[in-house]
Amino acid sequence: MAETHSLQDLRHQAAIASKVYVQRDYNSGTICKFQTKFPSELESRVDRQQFEETMQTLNNLYAEAEKIGGKSYLEGCLACMTAYTVFLCMETHYEKVLKKIAKFIKEQNEKIYAPQGLLLTDPIERGLRVVEIIIFEDRSISSGR
């Protein structure tokens, strides 16, 4: 509770210096995958490897959500047979993974990015187009270190 409160404070009190957008990587087709290339604007703020690890984990989670395999077929067939009414009671696999992703991003923000004056926005809030990274001005974050 206290941690989220501090993130909210960060958003409202600190001045936004700039925003960086990490675009989608379409080299593997239409699956949801983000570029892992380290943006130059974050040079001074966060470790390159750390960032790439975050992006890779995110990509793996999305791959899990969109995986076509036995489990997804079973879910699809069950849904078809019940005329898709089964989703009134139960969440789709994709939605479950999206919740996992939201939790992961929150965790990463609290542990790694907020202390450095950065904030990752969940891509689902931007239509899975970009990962928005808000860079806050340095002066308000000095206490975080």
Chain positions contacting other proteins, by CB under 8 A? 11-12, 16, 19-21, 23-24, 26-30, 65-68, 72-73, 75-77, 79-80, 83-84, 87, 92-95, 98, 124-130, 132
* Distance of closest approach, residue 119 Cβ to other proteins, in angstroms: 13
* Distance of closest approach, residue 65 Cβ to other proteins, in angstroms: 7
Give the whole-angstrom CA distance, residue 8 versus residue 52: 25
Q: What is the number of alpha carbons within 13 Å of residue 37 lying toward its C-beta?
A: 10
Q: Which is nearer to other proteins, 18 or 111 (CB)?
A: 18
Give the whole-angstrom CA distance, residue 58 versus residue 104: 8
* Distance of closest approach, residue 104 Cβ to other proteins, in angstroms: 17
Give the whole-angstrom CA distance, residue 134 versus residue 113: 10
Q: Which is nearer to other proteins, 16 or 111 (CB)?
A: 16
Let me know: does 54 contact 112? Beta carbons within 8 Å: yes
